[in-house]
Amino acid sequence: MKLALVGDIGGTNARFALWRDNQLESVQVLATADFPGVEQAIIAYLEGLGLAVGAVHAVCLACAGPVSGDLFVFTNNHWRLSRSAFCRDLQVDELLLINDFSAMALGMTRLQDHERVQVCPGTAEADRPAVVVGPGTGLGVGTLLGSAEAGWQALPGEGGHVDLPIGSPREAQLWQELYRLNGHIRAEDVLSGGGLLLLYRALCALDGHTQTLKSPAEITAAALAGDQVAGAVIDQFSCWLGRVAGNNVLSLGGRGGVYIVGGIVPRFAELFLRSGFAKSFAEKGPMSKYMVDVPVWLVTAEYPGLMGAGVALQQVLEHHDQEGNV
């Protein structure tokens, strides 16, 4: 019997898994730098499982960036993909390309209770959109609509590129330093791995501290060890994440709740839970009452993007089956 395959492809790593019986199997993570293209990476993945080209009949790949047309150019690595050539070379009948944060949003539908930590209490309204926000290499933003009965829908967007919001005189001062260092400041310029370092540089310049930390990992480690400057950077990062998440709730009517995903925040989860995130999230002037009872969770699941790619593929295959039975 032929199999389905799902992938979640980032700048550094490509995650692949088989999709069978609505579950992930044989998850592997491959470095994108090790392969000239996604086809070669998938062939290596299949060979590692003792499978030949043609063993997989359907593929869903979650990719960063807008997805349209035959040719897709990956935004964070050197790979390029032609839909027609991919299907021909890998003998695939069905190829579904979706935005990576559409996959991430769909992945929220399969979370287990132990894979999320509550940040803000509340009750999710089942008929309203849910917002998914994820600092990582960049800042991803997705929206989840629908239900298991009617079918899940994820709306792709580029919400990480909105302007960074300013909510206090202190943030206005920091924004000026950020602008001096970087020019135009998007939310992603601060709410990302590289953004953590940029924010550290700006805070040190504003407050007159000597810059001794050289990477996001060093900043996180120093903050966890009690360094006050690094701790202030983490807290401000969290506050700005709260403002951006709250803005998305207002823009989308996102009373279905907010999911904080990505690889950065779980690394300092305890500091995040004690930070100014919740206050900044709810601080919306006359609309602050709207934010009451909107739940927020920090997602700790290992492969939510892969799971979401599987959910997307499953819905397409089931739709095809229904059409075939009409």
What mean pLDDT comes out for the span 248-259? 96
Which pLDDT score, from 0 to 100, does residue 326 have?
A: 45
What mean pLDDT comes out for the span 231-246? 98
pLDDT band, very low/low/confident/very high, at 28 (cuts 50, 70, 90): very high
In the chain, pLDDT over 90 holds for what percent of residues? 80
Q: Where are the domains of the chain?
A: 3-105+303-325, 159-299
Rounded distance between C-alpha atoms, residue 109 and residue 146, angstroms: 10
**Number of neighbours of residue 96 by Cβ within 10 angstroms:** 19
What mean pLDDT comes out for the span 5-23? 92
Q: From residue 76, how far is each of 80, 143, 216, 294 by CA, in Å?
A: 11, 22, 18, 33
Which residues are annotated binding-site positions for ATP?
7-12
CB 144 within 8 A of CB 130: yes
Question: Could you tell me which residues come within 8 angstroms of residue 83 by beta carbon, excluding any fewer than 6 positions away?
Answer: 70, 71, 72, 95, 97
What mean pLDDT comes out for the span 230-259? 97
Which pLDDT score, from 0 to 100, does residue 322 have?
A: 67
Instruction: Say yes or no to pLDDT of 74 above 70.
Output: yes
pLDDT band, very low/low/confident/very high, at 324 (cuts 50, 70, 90): low
- Architecture of domain 3-105+303-325 in CATH? 2-Layer Sandwich (3.30)
Question: Could you tell me which residues come within 8 angstroms of residue 39 by beta carbon, excluding any fewer than 6 positions away?
Answer: 81, 85, 86, 89, 90
pLDDT band, very low/low/confident/very high, at 6 (cuts 50, 70, 90): very high
Which residues are annotated binding-site positions?
7-12
Residues 78-134 have pLDDT tens digits of: 899 999 999 999 999 999 999 888 999 999 999 999 999 999 999 999 889 999 999
Which pLDDT score, from 0 to 100, does residue 323 have?
A: 67
What mean pLDDT comes out for the span 288-293? 96
Instruction: Say yes or no to pLDDT of 36 above 90.
Output: yes
Write out the DSSP string of 49-109.
TT--TTSEEEEEEEESS---SSEEE-SSSS-EEEHHHHHHHHT-SEEEEEEHHHHHHHHGG
The DSSP call for residue 115 is: G
Residues 162-203 have pLDDT tens digits of: 999 999 999 999 999 999 999 999 999 999 999 999 999 999
Question: What is the domain class of 159-299 according to CATH?
Answer: alpha beta
Which pLDDT score, from 0 to 100, does residue 321 have?
A: 67
296 Rama sector, left if φ>0, alpha if ψ -120 to 50, beta otherwise: beta
Encoded amino acid at 283, one letter: E
Higher pLDDT pick, 326 / 293: 293
Residues 142-164 have pLDDT tens digits of: 999 987 677 789 987 788 999 99
